[in-house]
Structure 1
Amino acid sequence: MRARLLLASATMLFVELALIRWTGANIVHLSYFSNFILLGSFLGIGLGFLLPAGRGQWLARWTPVPLAVLVVLVREFPVQVRQTSGEVIYFTAVKTTGLPQWVTLPVLFGLTALIMMAIGKMTADQFRLLPSLEAYRFDLLGSLTGSVSFALLSWLRAPSVVWGVIAAAALLTLGGRRNSIRYSVPLALMVAILALETAASGISWSPYYKIEVTRPTSGSRDYKISANGVPHQSIAPLKVLRRPDSPYERPYRETPRNSHRRVLVIGAGNGNDVAMALAHGAQRVDAVEIDPRLQEIGASLHPARPYDNPRVHVHINDGRAFLERTNTRYDLVVLALPDSLTLVSGASNLRLESYLFTREAFEAAHRHLAPGGAFAMYNYYRQNWLIDRFGSTLTSVFGHAPCITHYGARRRPSWWPVSPPATSPAPPPRGAPPVRCPRPPVTTTPSRICCTAPSPPSTSGSWARSCW
């Protein structure tokens, strides 16, 4: 009884976490609103525990069926971002593949609740066979076992088929001999579908994301990288990266007097920014990337082979944590597209890039600049209010207004090269807007405005306000 309660409780937590991660990796709405599946799980577990001991036995007999149905539906009708948009922020408003949102979300919520209700019922039946305190102890131990086991698999980057095999083995054990045949068919179907996903070309799992790499087509030389069904990065040749209108080239063109000997790249990803730093003569490049799988993909596929260069030092770490632990000063600090498509999400997933876009993070970057050094950041910010917000924060941190460059009417990575002054001028008045270069009329073709932000004069209370 104790062992079965321990196994049932561990299975309940393991399946819950697996559902949250796997559905979020294939249904973009759930990657963005991960609490949706969590709420369905809570509802199902609660209903399973509320059922009296002698009722609801049909749930135990058919537990794997709704699980297999959910896996089939998600696999056959994944919801992925079909194209990015410069006019929206939230993924639920962009063009996606798969069934309509009003169909996908209710069906997944109902199936999740039914799955967890069945496993919760099995756990509750074992719970009632033991004294209350002892049952609570084994239930808690089982919950911790399931949670730690799944966390370990995520850290080891185990593919989804491994999760499915473990869940299937646990459910077969809990179902017993009487349900072995009834359980075997849907569980075998579930494992087979997950095996097909795992064997698909270009699919791998990082501790955070389901990663898909698409090889170049006949008309392109770029590798495309998607994370959880969202276009995330592309690997481009150095010749493309160094084009005059490339945002990768912008911080170096805007800081011609900077030696760029020591460069810090936060959000190094597949290595595009690292390759650019090396091409501009950097003697040392610290490449900080939180996702080890993205760095590995760049190390194996990037045509410039930036991660093979002995001048590059890779740090698998959070960008802000790295800044807090290093004493090195840099000629250039680049905040390079850290998870641009989930920039303003409140709780999108485990990756918390929003902590890089705070006053404290900008102050940490400022402290690590060498005399005459520069800080640059770019992203798909999409909304003017977001640009104004970051610009105001940078103005107050660096003591003078940043330079903002827009790229096109729809997709607008924005650069803010900011040089710290030799002396510290008084900060601008609270609430003062950032300096912005004049914007061109909105057109259907990409447009670019270049502007420079000279170091502010040492006169107290003044800061740079010139463009061009």
Structure 2
Amino acid sequence: MLSARSLADAGTVSDRVRLVGLSFLMLFVELALIRWTGSNVVYLSYFSNFVLLGSFLGIGIGFLRARAKVDLSGWAPLVLGAFVLVIAVAPVKITQDNADVFTFSSLSAGGPPREVVLPLIFLASAAVLALIAEGVARTFARFDNLDAYKYDLLGSILGIVAFSALSFLRLPPLAWGLVAGAVVVAMVLPRVPTVPQVVGIVILVVVLAVESFSPNLAWSPYYKVKAAPNPDLDDNLQVDVNGVPHQVHQTPEFAPGKGVYDVVRPPSLDDVLIIGAGGGNDVAVALERGAQHVDAVEIDPKLYELGRDRHPSRPYDDPRVDIHIDDGRAFLERSEREYDLILLALPDSITLIGGQSALRLESYLFTEEAMESARDRLKPDGVFTMYNYYREDWLIDRYGSMLEGVYGRAPCLQDVLPAYGPNGVALTGFSASREESSIECTEAGRARTWQASGEIPEPATDDHPYPYLRTRSLPTIYAVSLALILLVSLLAVRGVAGPMRPMTRFADLFFMGVAFLLLETKNVVQFALLFGTTWFVNALVFGGVLSSVLLAIAVSRRVTFKRPELLYGLLLASLVVAFFLPPELLLDLALVPRFLAAVTIAFTPIFTANLVFTQRFKDTGDSTTAFGANLLGSMVGGVLEYLALVTGYRSLLVVVAVLYGLAFLFGRRHLGVRAAA
């Protein structure tokens, strides 16, 4: 009955090319699923890590199945096509105004509830990746351990490069489907693909083609962007991202942010910085108010282009405006200009850094250190202002307290737009300055001096950049979901691999996988802070991590450490340095020395950790089971990543050190064997 031919054995492509190609397919599909499901299932814009966790589980299971008699890898295209079809025909919109989940959005309810959606997407992601990974693993087993690992990494690096190139070119999902389908076909040539493979590829390409050629849709590196005139808003252009209303292009007369100028009174507007410039509403208002120069910062190039080409006031055509496609915090840290006005204009990304548990694109704009950085970029009488739909009194109190601490006086709190309708929420703004006369905080501007309404939450910081999380805690939805994920994963591994006892011989590799995922997470967020939360920085970090692993393999092929326990000592030392070195010291450096220092601090423990892994892995007798145990450890590491919501990111290094200590304890007998040899 199982007629789909194995991806691992389907044709005459050499094993080397096949392993690279299938590893490419595995990582490329993982990245595409994270991106595509998040654009179609609203909830995954905030919880994309669930897809990542499912992918890790699936890859681990695929490797554990490598020695099974029945090869299921040939069914991967059909299962992938079915998954994409189901998501496409059953769009999900979810009402989410739960303060415990720090996603303050008002979305219309529709589709199945999240309790159904999240488990199904987790399991479907695991199934797709398990089938692809099984093809990888069966080819993996034909090589020497380190050779197999090397070719797997080469394919993974190529997968990152390819997906990053498509992101750079802003090609729609059809391009992703064509790439995945072409790789599948290439892996089975010169034989004819089976019917399930052809059907799966056709479904995948047709569904993505229909979406890609839908009217008014475009794809940026971050979002699925829909832009169309809204007849209820005088046919002004409304921009939705990932299915959520995001911006409306309006002339200065009707722009929401015009109200902030009822409060701010800097002596001049010679230099204005607008972060979150988007389609250009706030840029147009600043120009109308007499700004002589505007630095407009927008992280998403497509949102800027829509404003450039279709905003009724054409603010980006004005020679007084310089546009910067960049992360706002990164621009603040690099800029040497002083401003009369710095405006954070509704910078609400509604999406996460790729695959991270809770770090949104704008998270580092609302930390204590970011507000200090903005203050340092102001002229002595300059004004800092920010506005958004804050929704929660405790969030208003958090920002008010932070600004009071930074500027030495309570900020001005303003209803930029009052609430309207039975469930309306006011558009609220803060303004702060070192010069009292630069702000006119009066009732005429619907403004008053901020006063705490209750217990003030602790400030968000660069180490704990979660402004939308009220306390250092793990929200109930996460705790329950993660517990269920671990339970399902345990049952799935038990069902695939049989009794768990035989796998305990690779317990050290399991703990290395847990630790390495946390170490990778720490580096992703560290580089996001130092260089911006852009897709490009994210891709460079993941590419750098895999390149460091590849270098460790090259070293381990040529060198056998007679005392491998010393590597653990070097790893611990590098973690200690990373823990005690404050990030603000790196932020104070110029760009080039900052980059060199960051690379050294971040990648030394990664490189050393992979020397530890490769020294252990290269002599294992069962490479696929060993690698599967390591991958399952990575999945558990993805769960433990949520500890950062409680501890902050710096403390993850302590957890990493403990985990590598456990790997050392469970792997001591292997160290002894190597020393004796």
Q: State the TM-score bracket (shorter-chain normalisation).
A: 0.7 to 0.9
Question: How far 1:372 moved relative to its partner?
Answer: 2.0
Q: 1:286 aligns with which of 279, 288, 295?
A: 295
Q: Partners in 2 of 1:261 and 1:297 — Cα distance? A: 26
Q: 1:328 corresponds to which residue?
A: 337
Question: How far 1:183 moved relative to its partner?
Answer: 1.3
Question: How far 1:227 moved relative to its partner?
Answer: 1.5
Q: 1:44 corresponds to which residue?
A: 58
User: Quick check: 1:411 aligned with 2:425?
Assistant: yes
**Does the Cα contact within 8 Å between 1:155 and 1:207 map onto a contact in 2?**
yes
For residues 224 and 88 of structure 1, do their structure 2 counterparts lie closer, same or farther at Cα, with a shift above 3 Å needed? farther
Q: Partners in 1 of 2:411 and 2:173 — Cα distance? A: 45
**Does the Cα contact within 8 Å between 2:266 and 2:341 map onto a contact in 1?**
no
Partner SS, residue 299 of structure 1: helix
Question: How far 1:129 moved relative to its partner?
Answer: 1.5
1:68-121, CA deviations, whole angstroms, 9 ceiling, x for partnerless residues? 111111111122357989998437995433222222222222221111111011
User: Quick check: 1:450 aligned with 2:447?
Assistant: yes
Partner SS, residue 179 of structure 1: coil
1:167-222, CA deviations, whole angstroms, 9 ceiling, x for partnerless residues? 01111222442534431122112101101111111211111111111322265332
Q: Partners in 1 of 2:113 and 2:326 — Cα distance? A: 37
Q: Partners in 2 of 1:92 and 1:110 — Cα distance? A: 26
**Does the Cα contact within 8 Å between 1:158 and 1:205 map onto a contact in 2?**
yes
Q: 2:510 corresponds to which residue?
A: none
Structure 1: which amino acid aligns with 2:184?
Answer: L
1:409-463, CA deviations, whole angstroms, 9 ceiling, x for partnerless residues? 732222112221389xxxxxxxxxxxx999xxxxxxxxx933379xxxxxxxxxx
Q: Partners in 1 of 2:357 and 2:303 — Cα distance? A: 19
**Does the Cα contact within 8 Å between 1:60 and 1:175 map onto a contact in 2?**
no
The alignment's TM-score, normalised by the length of structure 1, stands at 0.84
**Does the Cα contact within 8 Å between 1:28 and 1:91 map onto a contact in 2?**
no
**Does the Cα contact within 8 Å between 2:32 and 2:176 map onto a contact in 1?**
yes
Q: 2:210 corresponds to which residue?
A: 196
Partner SS, residue 246 of structure 2: strand
1:302-349, CA deviations, whole angstroms, 9 ceiling, x for partnerless residues? 000000000111111111111122221111111111116469999468
Q: 1:263 corresponds to which residue?
A: 272
Q: 1:138 corresponds to which residue?
A: 151
Question: How far 1:296 moved relative to its partner?
Answer: 0.5
Q: How does 1:285-434 map to 2 (within 5 A)?
A: 285-339=294-348, 341=350, 347=356, 351-406=360-415, 407-408=418-419, 410-421=424-435
Q: Partners in 2 of 1:343 and 1:235 — Cα distance? A: 24
User: Quick check: 1:117 aligned with 2:126?
Assistant: no
Q: How does 1:160-239 map to 2 (within 5 A)?
A: 160-176=173-189, 177-217=191-231, 220-239=234-253
> Could you list the runs of 5+ residues in structure 2 that have no partner in the other structure?
1-14, 451-677
Structure 2: which amino acid aligns with 1:117?
Answer: A
Q: Partners in 2 of 1:412 and 1:421 — Cα distance? A: 27
Structure 2: which amino acid aligns with 1:352?
Answer: L
Q: Partners in 2 of 1:165 and 1:9 — Cα distance? A: 17
For residues 66 and 263 of structure 1, do their structure 2 counterparts lie closer, same or farther at Cα, with a shift above 3 Å needed? same
Q: Partners in 2 of 1:452 and 1:238 — Cα distance? A: 26
Q: Partners in 2 of 1:65 and 1:344 — Cα distance? A: 29
Higher relative CO (CA 8 A, sep ≥ 6), structure 1 or 2? Answer: 2
For residues 410 and 345 of structure 1, do their structure 2 counterparts lie closer, same or farther at Cα, with a shift above 3 Å needed? farther
Aligned residue-pair number: 427
**Does the Cα contact within 8 Å between 2:52 and 2:355 map onto a contact in 1?**
no
Q: Partners in 1 of 2:330 and 2:169 — Cα distance? A: 22
Q: Partners in 1 of 2:160 and 2:224 — Cα distance? A: 19
Q: 1:463 corresponds to which residue?
A: none
Between 93-102 and 155-164, the greater mean CA deviation after superposition: 93-102
Q: 1:3 aligns with which of 10, 14, 17?
A: 17
**Does the Cα contact within 8 Å between 2:177 and 2:205 map onto a contact in 1?**
yes
- Higher helix proportion, which one? 2
Q: Partners in 2 of 1:34 and 1:56 — Cα distance? A: 32
Q: 1:442 corresponds to which residue?
A: none
Q: Partners in 2 of 1:322 and 1:310 — Cα distance? A: 20
For residues 195 and 91 of structure 1, do their structure 2 counterparts lie closer, same or farther at Cα, with a shift above 3 Å needed? farther
**Does the Cα contact within 8 Å between 1:213 and 1:225 map onto a contact in 2?**
yes
Question: How far 1:253 moved relative to its partner?
Answer: 1.6
Task: Give the % identical residues.
Answer: 46
Structure 2: which amino acid aligns with 1:102?
Answer: E
Partner SS, residue 193 of structure 1: helix
Between 248-257 and 221-230, the greater mean CA deviation after superposition: 248-257
User: Quick check: 1:149 aligned with 2:162?
Assistant: yes
Structure 1: which amino acid aligns with 2:171?
Answer: A
The alignment's TM-score, normalised by the length of structure 2, stands at 0.59
Q: Partners in 2 of 1:94 and 1:220 — Cα distance? A: 22
**Does the Cα contact within 8 Å between 1:340 and 1:379 map onto a contact in 2?**
no
Q: Partners in 1 of 2:361 and 2:96 — Cα distance? A: 23
Between 100-109 and 120-129, the greater mean CA deviation after superposition: 100-109
For residues 213 and 330 of structure 1, do their structure 2 counterparts lie closer, same or farther at Cα, with a shift above 3 Å needed? same
Q: Partners in 2 of 1:138 and 1:338 — Cα distance? A: 41
Q: Partners in 1 of 2:354 and 2:33 — Cα distance? A: 21
Partner SS, residue 281 of structure 1: coil
Q: Partners in 2 of 1:84 and 1:221 — Cα distance? A: 29
Structure 1: which amino acid aligns with 2:53?
Answer: L
Question: How far 1:155 moved relative to its partner?
Answer: 2.2
**Does the Cα contact within 8 Å between 2:414 and 2:428 map onto a contact in 1?**
yes
Q: RMSD over aligned Cα, in angstroms?
A: 2.9
Partner SS, residue 239 of structure 1: coil
Q: Partners in 2 of 1:182 and 1:55 — Cα distance? A: 20
Q: 2:121 corresponds to which residue?
A: 108
Q: Partners in 2 of 1:101 and 1:47 — Cα distance? A: 25
For residues 66 and 92 of structure 1, do their structure 2 counterparts lie closer, same or farther at Cα, with a shift above 3 Å needed? farther
Structure 2: which amino acid aligns with 1:48?
Answer: G
Structure 2: which amino acid aligns with 1:334?
Answer: L
Between 406-415 and 357-366, the greater mean CA deviation after superposition: 406-415
Question: How far 1:350 moved relative to its partner?
Answer: 7.6
Q: How does 1:4-19 map to 2 (within 5 A)?
A: 4-19=18-33
Q: 2:78 corresponds to which residue?
A: 65
Q: Partners in 2 of 1:9 and 1:83 — Cα distance? A: 37
**Does the Cα contact within 8 Å between 2:278 and 2:298 map onto a contact in 1?**
yes
Q: Partners in 2 of 1:86 and 1:309 — Cα distance? A: 41
Partner SS, residue 254 of structure 2: helix
For residues 160 and 384 of structure 1, do their structure 2 counterparts lie closer, same or farther at Cα, with a shift above 3 Å needed? same
Q: Partners in 1 of 2:86 and 2:105 — Cα distance? A: 19
**Does the Cα contact within 8 Å between 1:250 and 1:415 map onto a contact in 2?**
no
Q: Partners in 1 of 2:284 and 2:99 — Cα distance? A: 27
